[in-house]
Amino acid sequence: MADQQSRQPERYAGIPRERIAWYPTIDPERCRPGECQLNCIAACPQHVYERAQDGRVMVARPYDCTVGDISCSFQCPFEAISFPSQGELRRMLKKLREELSS
């Protein structure tokens, strides 16, 4: 059984992880959990995704997502998963570093 305890460090590059808005977003118009193999759940070692009781798949643990990693998005056959761009991430980290050093 998968390790449900797997978690990301509390800080990324010295920044508290929960201040970094890096995590996947699922487009509900595209997501079709009844027609895929739930690849997102299977592919994520951090257990970021979870299936709700009503059958929808949700981002249950966003801050356990590995910063900068978009590999799960390629597993979705319906292109329902998106992330901030690398440029957005870079700007976000720069701004947070500036805030923390002031």
Q: How far lies 92's CA from each of 14, 20, 26, 35, 68, in Å?
A: 14, 7, 21, 35, 12
Q: Which stretch binds ligand SF4 (CB under 6 A): 2-10, 13-21, 76-84, 93-101?
A: 76-84
In terms of CB distance, is 55 or 87 closer to ligand SF4? 55
Binding mask 23-62 for ligand SF4 (x = CB under 6 A): ---x----xxx--x-xxx----------------x-----
Beta pairing partners, 32: none
**Nearest 5°: CA angle at 66, between 64 and 4?**
40
81 is a site residue for ligand SF4 (CB under 6 A): yes
76 is a site residue for ligand SF4 (CB under 6 A): yes
Task: Report the interface residues with ligand SF4, using CB under 6 A.
Answer: 26, 31-33, 36, 38-40, 57, 76, 78, 80-81
